[in-house]
Amino acid sequence: MKNYVFQRLVYLVFLLWLVSVVTFIVIELPPGDYLSTYILLLEQNTGQQLSEDIVERLRRQYGLDLPTHARYFKWFGQVLQGEFGFSFDWQQPVREIIGERLVLTFTIAILSAIFTYAVAIPIGIYSATHQYSLGDYVVSIIGFVGLAIPNFMLALIMLYVGFKQFGVNLSGLFSPEYLDAPWNWAKIGDLLLHLPIPIIVIGTGGTAGLIRVLRGTLLDELNKQYVITARSKGVGEVRLLFKYPVRVALNPIVSSLAWLFPSLVSGGTITAIVLGLPTAGPMLLRALLAQDTFLTATLLMFITILTVIGTTVSDILLVVVDPRIRMERAAN
Amino acid sequence: MWRRLLGRRQSNKPATVQYDESYYLASQWQLMWRKFRRHRLAMVSLVVILFLYSLALFAEFYSINDPHKRHVKYAKAPPHTLYFVDEDGNFHLVPFIYDLKQELDMDTLQRNYTEDRSKRYHLRFFVEGEPYKLLGFVDTNIHLVGVDEPAVYFPFGTDDLGRCLFSRTMHAARISLSIGVFGVVISFVLGCLIGGISGYFGGTVDLIIQRIIEFIISIPHIPLWIALAAALPDEWSSTQVYFGITLVLATVGWTTLARAVRGKLLELREADFVMAARISNMGDFDIIVKHLLPSFASFLIVVLSLSVPGMILAETALSFLRIGIQPPAVSWGVLLQDAQNIRSLSQSPWLLIPGIFVIVTVLAFNFLGDGLRDAADPYKQ
């Protein structure tokens, strides 16, 4: 067990390094470099052309005269010291503008995960124990539609219904009066009022998938002989259900957390753009379109790092929860 | 494993079932087709998918108006209502519409449309209209439906610029539906190649490839796609952008396929029927062609059909964010851009109609994949 956790942590460090490489590739990908954008900006602001000499000095300052791998190590060294560069678009150091947005992003992702499980597990169990009943059909149909409807469309429909039926604008995470207010209890309360819509939108797709998986495995388990044995011994239906088959059927659900979490962060990005949430997604899109390289890279890096950490934690949790996997992995 | 298979066989195959001779003589593919036909939802989905692809293939024939033409008199017009019964209560077999008249509301400065009930315009089928080339080489001007001038028929309404949303949706089907298949083909080639290497060599190569795949899966896809799509040069032509977006989608898409191929390879390499064939002195080539490929192909078709909808959704999302397919090229995602803010959405909710096509396509592919999976599973009767 300790061995396994240690292994995972070593692997995590390796993953984090890979993240930095991918991020660096993304920085290098766009045609032209960020310096040309910056120079253009400077020229626009000052209204005069920069001399060759200054351009050359800037290039050296940003290390653009170095070969690629040297640039990577220079950038990587800065990142390790918590130095993420300067956002041209926001005219602020990247470090100062991303913190709150990242916290909100992952708060929403984690809450969506909780929502997904809280809805999927009871419905999945109901739908398997009442196979082919009206409820089962209704849930299945809703589940399929939830699977097929793109996140952003669901968000749009919710906005539309909220606006037409109730006359309220459901977008954003804060009411206008709290937008720039410092954090206090009233602001948190306001946040809680705005959270359900994005959480429902982001969680729906995953919920539909989980219900299908849970229903399928539970149906398989319910036909097994140990269930018949238990029943013939006189174990009550409810107790029987929760004592054996549900516990077995929950396993794939627990292990799904590893892919669910990235997909929630991913779905959160586009939902946040449609709903205008102050999270990392809209900021990333804006930074990309403005070629604000350092901001893009840092956001992408943190979104990925936090997701990878989330996946690792869920992997370790799975081993804690499921003795069979514990044995299997310990053997390796 | 064995107990499970046996258990299933016992429970699923009642001893009383009698098959006629053709069942025992049927080939593997015929058996699958039999099973597939019984899956009603999958059959319906197959028909729906074929229909949707026919829309894409014959978009000019189905569309009523030129998708790029701006009907200034009808900007933001709602969808026409089809009537069967006229003002006097008379029933007409051929449905008809009333022309729309624009009025400007002086208080809100919004355009309002009212029906001009003085004249009926009956739908006419196979009418002559804008000339086009069917399938790119047959010169013709026949369209499925149309109405007499001066009225113009907009089944899905129009956008801000007065372009016919129905015709645009038909044309958009081309990119939206082809990009899914095309992206899956690229992912498939990559997946088979890399998954094949991984499964065939095993050992360290396998370990490294599997770790890389796990890594790619654990990155949130949409931020990655956004970053890659935004890196496509602005000056690219729409064809280049199309291929670029396909490649971007395939960067993530191949991982699922590679995993599936590898898993299946590892499983089949050790399977009893392969060992039996080997003992019967069958050559490696024959084993691959006659035994491995057939048992593999059905599985691959299932995986492929289930990965198409993800690609379609991804393209729609990217185009919706204005970093995918660029206008004037149209895809369903591009059309949905117009519905991006709550103001235009509340004024013209019909702009969401292309989204219904996305949902139907994705659903149909999912059901089709389910049906294929059941049909390809030899243990399901």
Contact B321 A22 (CB under 8 A): no
Closest C-alpha to B332, from B55, B60, B132, B146: B55
Determine the pLDDT at residue A34.
62
Residue with the bigger pLDDT between A167 and A330: it is A167
Nearest-5° Cα angle at A277, A273 to A280:
75
Largest CA distance in chain A: 90
For the cut 80, the answer to whether the pLDDT of residue B52 exceeds it is yes
The confidence score (pLDDT) of residue B50 equals 92
- What is the pLDDT confidence band of residue B380, given thresholds at 50, 70 and 90? low
Shortest CA distance from A290: residue in chain B: B230
Give the gap in angstroms from C-alpha A204 to the nearest C-alpha of chain B.
Answer: 14
Answer yes or no: do A150 and B221 touch at CB < 8 A: no
Among residues A156, A155, A198, which one has the least CA distance to residue A173?
A198
More confident residue, B165 or A167: B165
Query: Which chain B residue's Cα is nearest to A267?
Result: B222
Q: Is A156 on the interface with B (CB under 8 A)?
A: yes
Closest to A286 measured CA to CA, from B230, B334, B315: B230
pLDDT, position B351: 84
Res B47: pLDDT: 92
Share above pLDDT 90 across residues of chain A, in percent, rounded to a whole number: 0
Does A17 reach chain B within 8 Å, measured CB to CB? no
Question: For A218-249, what is each residue's pLDDT tens digit?
Answer: 888 888 888 888 889 988 888 888 888 888 88
User: For chain B, what percent of residues have pLDDT higher than 70?
Assistant: 92
Instruction: Identify the residue among B226, B348, B374 best suited for mutation to test binding to A, counting A beta carbons within 10 A and taking the highest.
Output: B226
> Is B358 an interface residue toward A (CB < 8 Å)?
yes
Is A332's Cβ below 8 Å from some Cβ in B?
no
Q: Mutation target for B interface from A106, A152, A260, A300: give the one with most B CBs within 10 A.
A: A152
DSSP code per residue over B217-264: HHS-HHHHHHHHHHTS-TT--HHHHHHHHHHHHHHHHHHHHHHHHHHH
Please report, as a single letter, which amino acid is at residue A217. Answer: T
Interface of B with A in 287-306 (CB under 8 A): none
Segment 211-240 of chain A within 8 Å of chain B by CB: 223-225
pLDDT tens track for B97-124:
777 777 777 776 677 777 777 777 777 7
For residue B234, the chain A residue with the least C-alpha distance is: A31
The SS3 of residue B281 is: coil
- CA of A298 vs chain B CAs: smallest distance (Å): 12
Cβ atoms of A217 and A248 within 8 Å: the answer is yes
Alpha-carbon gap: A238 to the closest alpha carbon of chain B (Å): 24
Which residues of chain A are within 8 Å of residue B317 when distances are taken between CB atoms? 150-152, 270
Note the pLDDT tens digit of each residue in A45-60.
777 777 777 777 777 7
Q: Enumerate the residues of chain A whose CB falls inside 8 A of the CB of residue B315.
A: none
Indicate the residue of B217, B223, B346 with minimum beta-carbon distance to A160. B346
| Nearest-angstrom CA–CA distance, A275 and B300 | 38
3-class SS of residue B310: helix
Are the beta carbons of B158 and B71 closer than 8 angstroms? yes
Nearest to B317 among A11, A150, A311 (CB): A150
B346 part of contact set with chain A, CB < 8 Å: yes
Residue A308 contacts B where some CB pair is shorter than 8 Å: yes
Residue A88 contacts residue A289 (beta carbons within 8 Å)? no
Mean pLDDT on A160-167: 79
- CB contacts of B228 in chain A (<8 Å) are 26, 29
State the Cα–Cα distance between residues B323 and B337, nearest whole angstrom: 11
Residues of chain B positioned with their CB less than 8 A from the CB of A289: 230, 323
Report the pLDDT value the prediction gives residue B267, as an integer from 0 to 100.
76
Q: pLDDT, tens digit, for every residue of B298-355? A: 778 778 887 888 888 888 888 888 888 887 888 888 888 888 777 777 778 888 888 8
